[in-house]
A and B are shown apart, each in its own frame.
Chain A
Amino acid sequence: MVSHPVSPQKFAARLNAFLRERLPLEELQALAEKKKVPLHKHSLWYYLGGIAGMLLGVQIVTGLLLMVYYVPEITSAHASILKINTQINFGWFVRSLHSWGANLMILALFVHLFSTYFMKAYRKPRELTWWTGLALMGICLGFGFTGYLLPWDDVSFFATKIGLDVASKVPFAGNLIAYMLRGGDAVSQATISRFFVIHVAILPILLIGLLGGHLLMVQVHNISEPNSFKNLEPAEKTYEKFFPTFFLKDILVWILCLNALFGLTMLSPWSLGPEADPFAPAPIGIKPEWYFLAPFQFLKMMPAMVGPIEGELVGLVLMSLVAVGFVLVPTFDSGASTARSRAATWFGIVVVISFAVLSIWGVLS
Chain B
Amino acid sequence: MNYPLWVVPHIGGTWVIGIISIIHVFISHFAVGGGIFLAFAEELAYKKNDDRIYDFLKQHSRFFVLLTTVAGAITGVGIWFSVSLVSPDGLASLIQSFTLAWAEEYLFFVAELATAFAYYYTWDRISKTEHLFLARLYMIFSIFTLVIINGILTFMLTPGKWMVNHYWLDGVFNPTYFPSLGIRILIMLAIAGMYALVTSSRIKEPRFRAFMVRYCAKWLLPVFILGPIFMVWFLTQIPQASIDTIFTGIQTSGVGNFSVLARALYLSMVLSGTILLFAYFGPYLNPKAFTFRIAIMFMVCGLAVTGTTEWMREMLRKPYVIYGYLYSNGIHKDDVQTISSQGFLNKGKWASALAQHANSEEERGELIFRYQCLACHTADGYRSMKKLLGARDEEAIENFLQILRKTDPKSNNYTGIMPTLAVNDAELKSLAKYLSTINVEERHHAEQVGAKPDVKENASTVQ
Residue on B nearest A244 in the bound complex, by CB: B286
User: Is there an interface contact between B274 and A258, defined as CB atoms closer than 8 Å?
Assistant: yes
User: Is there an interface contact between A248 and B252, defined as CB atoms closer than 8 Å?
Assistant: no
User: Is there an interface contact between B266 and A266, defined as CB atoms closer than 8 Å?
Assistant: yes
- What range describes how many residues of A lie at the interface? 20 to 34
Contact with B along A83-111 (1 / 0, CB 8 A): 00111111111000000000000000000
B175 contacts partner chain A, Cβ-Cβ < 8 Å = no
* Segment 256-286 of B: residues with Cβ below 8 Å from A: 263-264, 266-267, 270-271, 274, 277-278, 281-282, 285-286
**With A252-B281, A252-B294, A259-B301: A89-B271 Cβ-Cβ less than 8 Å:** no
User: Is there an interface contact between B271 and A256, defined as CB atoms closer than 8 Å?
Assistant: no
* Segment 400-420 of B: residues with Cβ below 8 Å from A: none
**With A86-B252, A249-B289, A269-B255: A262-B281 Cβ-Cβ less than 8 Å:** no
B359 contacts partner chain A, Cβ-Cβ < 8 Å = no
* Cβ contacts under 8 Å, B294 to chain A: 249, 252
User: Is there an interface contact between A262 and B255, defined as CB atoms closer than 8 Å?
Assistant: no
User: Is there an interface contact between A240 and B267, defined as CB atoms closer than 8 Å?
Assistant: no
User: Is there an interface contact between A89 and B289, defined as CB atoms closer than 8 Å?
Assistant: no
The SS class assigned to the B binding surface is helix
**Distance, CA A269 to CA B253, complexed state (A):** 9
User: Is there an interface contact between B263 and A91, defined as CB atoms closer than 8 Å?
Assistant: no
A267 contacts partner chain B, Cβ-Cβ < 8 Å = yes
B241 contacts partner chain A, Cβ-Cβ < 8 Å = no
* Segment 110-161 of A: residues with Cβ below 8 Å from B: none
A251 contacts partner chain B, Cβ-Cβ < 8 Å = yes
B297 contacts partner chain A, Cβ-Cβ < 8 Å = yes
**With A87-B252, A259-B301, A269-B255: A240-B289 Cβ-Cβ less than 8 Å:** yes
User: Is there an interface contact between B304 and A263, defined as CB atoms closer than 8 Å?
Assistant: yes
B251 contacts partner chain A, Cβ-Cβ < 8 Å = yes
**Distance, CA A87 to CA B251, complexed state (A):** 8
* Residue from A90, A244, A249, A259 within 8 A of B251 (CB atoms): A90
Q: Report the minimum CB–CB distance from A94 to chain B (whole Å).
A: 12
**With A93-B266, A259-B274: A252-B282 Cβ-Cβ less than 8 Å:** yes
**Distance, CA A266 to CA B285, complexed state (A):** 30
* Cβ contacts under 8 Å, A16 to chain B: none
User: Is there an interface contact between A255 and B278, defined as CB atoms closer than 8 Å?
Assistant: yes
Contact with B along A240-276 (1 / 0, CB 8 A): 1000110011011001101100110011110100000
User: Is there an interface contact between A256 and B297, defined as CB atoms closer than 8 Å?
Assistant: yes
User: Is there an interface contact between A255 and B281, defined as CB atoms closer than 8 Å?
Assistant: yes
* Cβ contacts under 8 Å, A240 to chain B: 289
User: Is there an interface contact between A251 and B266, defined as CB atoms closer than 8 Å?
Assistant: no
**With A252-B278, A266-B266: A259-B254 Cβ-Cβ less than 8 Å:** no
* Segment 119-133 of B: residues with Cβ below 8 Å from A: none
* Cβ contacts under 8 Å, A244 to chain B: 286
User: Is there an interface contact between A266 and B267, defined as CB atoms closer than 8 Å?
Assistant: yes
* Cβ contacts under 8 Å, B266 to chain A: 93, 262, 266
User: Is there an interface contact between B263 and A248, defined as CB atoms closer than 8 Å?
Assistant: no
* Cβ contacts under 8 Å, A258 to chain B: 274
* Residue from B252, B274, B289, B301 within 8 A of A88 (CB atoms): B252
**Distance, CA A71 to CA B266, complexed state (A):** 28
User: Is there an interface contact between B254 and A92, defined as CB atoms closer than 8 Å?
Assistant: yes
Besides A258-B274, A262-B266, 18 new A-B residue pairs in contact (Cβ under 8 A), listed by A number: A85-B254, A86-B252, A87-B252, A90-B251, A91-B252, A92-B252, A252-B282, A255-B278, A256-B278, A256-B297, A262-B270, A262-B271, A266-B263, A266-B266, A266-B267, A266-B270, A269-B263, A271-B254
Of the A-B pairs whose beta carbons lie under 8 Å apart in the complex, a sample of 13, sorted by A's number, is A245-B289, A248-B286, A249-B282, A249-B294, A255-B281, A258-B274, A259-B271, A262-B267, A263-B271, A266-B263, A269-B255, A269-B263, A271-B255
Q: Which 6 A-B pairs have the closest CB atoms?
A: A92-B254, A248-B286, A266-B267, A266-B263, A251-B281, A89-B251
